[in-house]
Structure 1
Amino acid sequence: MTPSARPPDPLTFEVVELIGAVVNRYREEYEEAAGKHGLTGAQARVLRLLSIEAAPMRRIARKLHCEPSNITGIVDRLEARGLVERRPDAGDRRVKLAAVTDEGREVASQLRESLDFAREPLSDLSVEERTVLRDLLRRMLGVD
């Protein structure tokens, strides 16, 4: 058996299972919070991204790992609710950017504030422990 084909040791297996449980709980809470605002989880994720910066559909699709045509439909529905708008890109007027409206920014902020799942358990950790956890997660993801 090659080293890369070895089954994970029990500690690694437990860590992977715990990460999966955290991800599942976060998704469940995110979907619930989105639903309270009449949004799907996908719509909420797009709204969150756009609350950071306006972006073309392709960039949103890349960040969310889906097809641009899916993002177009999501943006259409968000636009119909007045949460986002399309505007020309100042650098290339052929490109349309999806941008959050003031109402969309408020909904995105309310969504962010309602996500207690991660905040509550993290508040039980010291600043040093949260720093170590952040640094380990960044290292695992290859983020500097």
Structure 2
Amino acid sequence: MPGHPRVGTGQLMELLSVSLGAYYGDFTAAAARENLTASQAKTLTVLRRGPAAMRVLAETLACDASNMTGIVDRLEKRSLVRREPSPGDRRVKNVVLTPEGEQTIDTIRATMHTTTAGLDALDDEDRATLHALLSRVFTAKQD
């Protein structure tokens, strides 16, 4: 853009790192207020997109399958998720977000005050631009 100095990839990565660090800290604190670990809350967030097999959850969250089992066990014990057979393969168990789990992740997002305040400071045009840019840079993985 004319009149704007070129911003290097390294500068963008640094700012992204700071931004994601602030977001993650806010998310972790909000999850803790709901007596959840960040990994448990991230699992609920992923499940908002729809049911997922344990293997897919482990890949999405970049964790070992045995760790994923423990996370899901604890969420299931709190009735935040449930396991059900996959319609395509009865041997595979899908993890499904329950209404209680959905309410919990809504509460977590609603109490992320630092993130909310930062995003609320943007006007509609800036919000649309940020959305478009993030969509271009970080396209959702399609399984």
TM over 0.5: yes
| Corresponding residue to 2:59 among 44, 58, 62 | 62
| Corresponding residue to 1:126 among 123, 126, 143 | 123
- Partner deviation per Cα, 1:23-72 (whole Å, 9 max, x = no partner): 11111111101111110000000012223311111111121122222211
Q: How far apart in 1 are the matches of 2:99 and 2:129?
A: 36
Bigger Cα displacement from structure 2, 10-19 vs 82-91: 10-19
Normalising by structure 2, report the TM-score: 0.83
Any unmatched runs of 5+ in structure 2?
none
Give me the identity figure in percent: 37
Structure whose CA Rg is larger: 1
Q: How far apart in 1 are the matches of 2:84 and 2:119?
A: 38
- Partner deviation per Cα, 1:45-104 (whole Å, 9 max, x = no partner): 001222331111111112112222221110011111221111111221111111122222
RMSD of aligned alpha carbons: 2.0
Any unmatched runs of 5+ in structure 1?
1-8
Which fold has the larger relative contact order, with Cα–Cα distance below 8 Å and residues 6 or more apart in sequence?
A: 2
Greater helix share, structure number: 1
Normalising by structure 1, report the TM-score: 0.83
Residues 82-97 of structure 1: matches in 2 within 5 Å? Answer: 82-97=79-94
Query: 4+ residue runs of structure 1 moved beyond 6 angstroms?
Result: none
